[in-house]
Amino acid sequence: MTDTPHHITAPQRLDHPNRADHLDSPERVKERDRKRRRLLILIVSVVVVSAFVKLISLLFFSNTVSTDNAYVGAETANISAMINGQVIAVKVSDTQQVKRGDVLLILDPSDANIAVAQAQAQLAKAQRQFNQSSANIDGLNAQLLVSQDDILRAKAQVVQAEVHLERIAAEFNRRLKLSQSGAISKEELATAQSAYNSARADIEVAKAGLTQAESKRNAAQSTLNASKALIEGTTQANLPDILVAKAQLKQAQLDLQRTVIRAPLDGVVTRRDVQVGQRLAPGVTVMMIVPVSKLYVDANFKESQLQRVRVGQSVILTADLYGSRIKYSGKVMGLSGGTGSAFALIPAQNASGNWIKVVQRLPVRIQLNPQQLAEHPLRVGLSMNATIELNSKQ
């Protein structure tokens, strides 16, 4: 009987060999505390690091705004002919560096030379007409004096004819009375009648001569007035016809000069699209010149970045062409009058029902340092990174 309990308790210990493991041992408690401390330290470290990064950002980086949406631009010059003409020589090629005044291409000057010769002839003709008009005035003055003499002579003839008519009329009346008494023959009366009629006709002729003389005088006076109106108070320097002829000559000479097309500025030739023998029309672009020494950057900043951006602030730029080792110093020249989407070919229709707000970007024009451009040349369209220093001098 005494062995039974021992026999029974033994199996119980065998059935639960790990019952003590369910109780926390000191080692397990220590291990769990160490893990909790490490987790707590990790959390605190993350919080401290985040706060430190935020503090650094506030202290050092809140005074700048940056974007990599920036590109090099330039005020390029479009080269085109200003007159019609056939190309006889092309002096440049793509990528060639040119200076202001260098010859780019030459047009056939034959037509322009002919136009200059015609304009010179028109000017000479106008000057000769002025001299002729001046000489005609003297002749018209002399003619007017002659006409005045003719009028005086015609008036004298009229007076003479009237006196003669009075005498003939008196003789005719006397003979008419005598014929009534039979003292003279009918032949004598007829002769007196003829003389009277002839005297009356002479008066009409004299009066007609006077009218003709007066008409000649009036015509001469009108011609003189017209000639004076054309040139009176003028010289060859200010006569309208001569001024028009001189203007036409200048235009012809200008067209002749335009047969030689020159570079309007320093730069690099690009997009040359002209060949010898090609006939050009005015206004058609045949090449472009990019002023690589006067480039700028258009940086497209988000609208949320522009609150403190002002004209004159300093800008640090880097080009993808050279990498971050080459830095350019620039200055804000101005902000565009509208966003890129506002001036797009097809502007966004934000009034539609499926509208989704999109952060807009506004182009900021940045001036580059010419000396740095000379040391590290750029080209239009290259990508740039721009950082505006908001606390810089404005």
How would DSSP label each residue in 57-83? Answer: IIIIITTEEEEEEEEEE---EEEE-SS
Least confident stretch, 142-146, 332-336, 344-348: 142-146
Residues 380, 290 contacting (CB under 8 angstroms): yes
* Predicted structure pTM score: 0.61
* pLDDT(27) > 70: yes
Higher pLDDT, 349 or 253: 253
Confidence of residue 234 (pLDDT cuts 50, 70, 90): low
**The CATH number of domain 112-253 is 1.10.287.620:** yes
* pLDDT(252) > 80: yes
* Nearest in space to 270 (alpha carbons), one of 123, 146, 95: 95
* pLDDT(256) > 90: yes
**Cα-based distances in Å from 72 to 64, 296, 381:** 21, 6, 5
Residues 122, 245 contacting (CB under 8 angstroms): yes
How confident is the model over 169-174, as a mean pLDDT?
77
**Separation of CA 392 from chain center:** 37
* pLDDT(277) > 60: yes
Confidence of residue 10 (pLDDT cuts 50, 70, 90): very low
Helix (H) or strand (E) holding 104: strand 103-107
Question: pLDDT above 90 covers what percent of the chain?
Answer: 45
Residues 364, 332 contacting (CB under 8 angstroms): yes
Helix (H) or strand (E) holding 314: strand 314-319
Residue 373 CB contacts under 8 Å (≥ 6 apart), including other chains: 292, 293, 295, 328
CA separation for the pair 230, 142 (Å, rounded): 19
CB-based burial label for 303 (10 Å; 0-12, 13-18, 19+)? exposed
* pLDDT(319) > 80: yes
Helix (H) or strand (E) holding 328: strand 323-335
CA separation for the pair 165, 200 (Å, rounded): 6
Count other C-beta atoms under 10 Å from residue 123's C-beta: 19
**pLDDT per position as a tens digit, 49-61:** 888 877 776 666 5
Confidence of residue 180 (pLDDT cuts 50, 70, 90): confident
Mean pLDDT over each residue of the chain, to the nearest integer: 83
Question: Domain segments of the chain: what residues?
Answer: 63-75+290-389, 77-108+258-287, 112-253
How confident is the model over 237-245, as a mean pLDDT?
83
Confidence of residue 1 (pLDDT cuts 50, 70, 90): very low
Helix (H) or strand (E) holding 316: strand 314-319
> Directed axis angle between helix 110-181 and helix 240-257, to 10°?
160
How confident is the model over 344-363, as a mean pLDDT?
78
Residues 215, 159 contacting (CB under 8 angstroms): no
* Nearest in space to 305 (alpha carbons), one of 68, 15, 16, 87: 68
For 361, the 3-state DSSP assignment is strand
Would you identify the CATH topology of the domain 77-108+258-287?
OB fold (Dihydrolipoamide Acetyltransferase, E2P) (2.40.50)
For 386, the 3-state DSSP assignment is strand
**The CATH number of domain 63-75+290-389 is 2.40.30.170:** yes
How confident is the model over 150-165, as a mean pLDDT?
79
Q: Are strands 260-262 and 103-107 parallel, antiparallel or unpaired?
A: antiparallel
Count other C-beta atoms under 10 Å from residue 331's C-beta: 17
**Cα-based distances in Å from 285 to 207, 213, 272, 291, 294:** 78, 70, 9, 17, 22
